[in-house]
Amino acid sequence: MKFYKVVARPSLPYGSETWVTTQRDMTRLEAAEMHFLGSVTGYTRLDKIRSEDIRQELEISGIQDVRLKYKQNWINHLERMDNTRLPKYATHLQTPGKKGSRTPQETMATRRCRNRLNDLIQGGR
């Protein structure tokens, strides 16, 4: 378990603090985590043991909790930054031009990302 906590777990969500994660991304992260944990405990998918049960047995939290902690740490880091730094500037960037000039997919993705960042900044999930 020490190898998992020191090497494997931090490498899974590496860089995730800046991702706009989709459900598919989270599913893949959880699948990779459970593949590793299953081999540690000796369980296979044929044993049909739930992921929560394996995590509870090993006394660890899910990878989604770790990813959210990374993201919250990044948000806190951005808040402490000087206003002239590029990452902070980019998070508060307002693009010029008409609001309807982008495709609906881009507008929706941008809105989701901005709403999620605002939720995290205000202490949401």
Q: Where are the domains of the chain?
A: 2-121
Mean pLDDT of the chain: 80
Q: So what's the pLDDT on residue 2?
A: 78
**pLDDT above 80 for 33:** yes
Residue 9 pLDDT class (50, 70, 90 cuts): confident
pLDDT tens by residue, 68-103: 888 888 889 988 988 888 888 777 777 666 665 555
**pLDDT above 60 for 124:** no
Q: So what's the pLDDT on residue 89?
A: 79
Q: So what's the pLDDT on residue 99?
A: 61
> CA–CA separation, 64 vs 26, rounded Å?
7
- Taking each helix axis from N to C end, the angle separating 23-41 and 63-80, rounded to the nearest 10 degrees, works out to 130
> CA–CA separation, 125 vs 64, rounded Å?
11
